[in-house]
Structure 1
Amino acid sequence: MNDIINDVTRALGRIDQRFYELPDIAFSGGILIDRDNIKQLEKRFMMEFSRKYTALMRDNGCLYNGVEYDFEIPKMFMWGKEEDFAIRETWERLNEKRDIDMIEYFTMLPDFLVHAGQNKQDDQRLIIEAKVNPNTSKNEVFKDIFHTFIYANKYNFQNNVILLINIELAKWQKWLLEYYKSYYLGNKNRWESIYIVNKKSYSAEIIVETIASFLLNKD
């Protein structure tokens, strides 16, 4: 692991148990009920993560000098002059899923990022998509995987993290392999920059893998 990913795991290890605890989540016909409540729970966890990570940034200023936190996911890769057919096709297919609104998701900010400005392709430090709900749906997972491949390929983020909290890594890996068969993957050379950081419970160890370790040699 590099220093940035080490700081991710250090910040994660400093989060108190109460931020891992979630109430029972109800589903109806496979559709998540009270999605706004889940968003608030995940937001609460990531706010605490941000607080812990910011403290580490102050301690390691040389790694994070001159960073910004704003970010926009433009639609140019689907409909503009820089249209990428593979991205557009994946977006359209995911948008057909009844439990996911890709129009909403494609305009949402990532859960956490550290970079030197959106146009500085050589200084995109860290971006995170997080899942905290243990009952998160497969299509929610697909959305985060899709976004993360875009971050790694189109924005050149050096550390693209999918953070999995309260989630079994084996179940997520099974869904990743389903995604792999049908959706946007970008360039294989970028897969080593995509990290999976998993902590399935407060008391569990932190597991760090790259998406390359799951996907290379699958053909």
Structure 2
Amino acid sequence: MNNILTDFAGAIDSIPNFYYNMDDVSILNDELVINKELSKPYERRFVSQLKSSYDTLIAKRSLEDYSSVYTDLEVIKKYIYTGNPDRAIEESYHKMLRKFGNSKVFEAIITIPDFLIHHAQSDWEHKNQKLVVEAKTSPKLRFTEFALDFFKLNVYAEKHNFQNSVYLIVHNSFESIQDLFTEYRQEGFYLSPHNLENIYLFLKKDFSSELIVRKASSLL
């Protein structure tokens, strides 16, 4: 792995167990109800801690990789269906509309990465587009969510000049995710024609499990 991915793996492994799940919280009759018997993963909470861990890690580094770039969360980079049209992307977009429904696809397809390292929203230079991450922490990841995220990662890699595009998945088995990759390919959804080798799966089933890293191309 390159320096960016090695540090990203280190940041994941440094996240305490505390951030993998938390007690289920609800409001009943204006009272806060905490169910300690039921725990849930909270994606935004996990990714926020990931950013904190990464910031702590790279603050100790003096690599050229991190000069003039910043870690960021949920920043709109660009709506993928604007700009110079790409026929393959458009066809996949419409195929997803037919399979998943208009509202689901339209809501998900606006490119708001969960985590990224870049210089600025307006800067698309390859040297400054270091890392983009889509993350999922829910157990039993559904194909709809998987496909929409993986579609976006392929667009990031092909059209946004990102050096590393990562799908970070927590609380799922490797076998179940491999099945989702196979289904995505069988559906004929968009794959980056030139930069597929720059897309990675980072999978951690739970806090105590070993981090699995694979190139997406090896799973398709």
TM-score (normalizing by structure 2) = 0.81
1:96-138 deviation digits (Å, cap 9, x = unpaired): 4159712222225201000123321332101100110012211
Question: 1:184 aligned to 179, 190, 205, which one?
Answer: 190
Question: 2:89 aligned to 87, 106, 114, which one?
Answer: 87
User: 2: distance between equivalents of 1:50 and 1:156?
Assistant: 21
The answer (yes or no) to whether the contact 2:150–2:167 under 8 Å persists in 1 is yes
Alignment correspondent of 2:29: none
Alignment correspondent of 1:55: 56
1:15 pairs with 2:15? yes
Q: Aligned with 2:195: secondary structure? A: helix
Alignment correspondent of 1:33: none
Q: Aligned with 1:78: secondary structure? A: coil
The answer (yes or no) to whether the contact 1:22–1:133 under 8 Å persists in 2 is no
Alignment correspondent of 2:36: none
Shift of 1:23: 6.8
User: 2: distance between equivalents of 1:100 and 1:202?
Assistant: 34
1:112 pairs with 2:115? yes
Letter in 1 for 2:204: K
Q: Aligned with 1:204: secondary structure? A: coil
- Same amino acid, percent of matched pairs: 31
1:209 pairs with 2:189? no
User: 1: distance between equivalents of 2:60 and 2:106?
Assistant: 38
User: 1: distance between equivalents of 2:41 and 2:102?
Assistant: 18
User: 2: distance between equivalents of 1:95 and 1:55?
Assistant: 41
Greater alpha carbon shift after TM alignment, 90-99 vs 111-120: 90-99
1:102 pairs with 2:90? no
CA gap of 1:91–1:128, structure 2 versus 1, over 3 A, is same
1:49-71 deviation digits (Å, cap 9, x = unpaired): 01000111211242211114484
The two structures, once aligned, show a CA RMSD in angstroms of: 2.3
CA gap of 1:40–1:21, structure 2 versus 1, over 3 A, is closer
**Quick check: which has more Rg, 1 or 2?**
2
Greater alpha carbon shift after TM alignment, 164-173 vs 114-123: 114-123
1:124 pairs with 2:129? yes
User: 2: distance between equivalents of 1:162 and 1:47?
Assistant: 16
Alignment correspondent of 1:157: 162
Letter in 1 for 2:110: T
1:63-89 deviation digits (Å, cap 9, x = unpaired): 2111144843433x5354x11122122
Q: Aligned with 1:135: secondary structure? A: coil
User: 2: distance between equivalents of 1:100 and 1:23?
Assistant: 31
Question: 1:197 aligned to 196, 202, 209, which one?
Answer: 202
The answer (yes or no) to whether the contact 1:94–1:139 under 8 Å persists in 2 is no
The answer (yes or no) to whether the contact 2:204–2:212 under 8 Å persists in 1 is yes
Q: Which protein is richer in strand relative to its size? A: 2
Pairs aligned (count)? 198
User: 2: distance between equivalents of 1:131 and 1:102?
Assistant: 17
TM-score (normalizing by structure 1) = 0.82
CA gap of 1:99–1:48, structure 2 versus 1, over 3 A, is farther
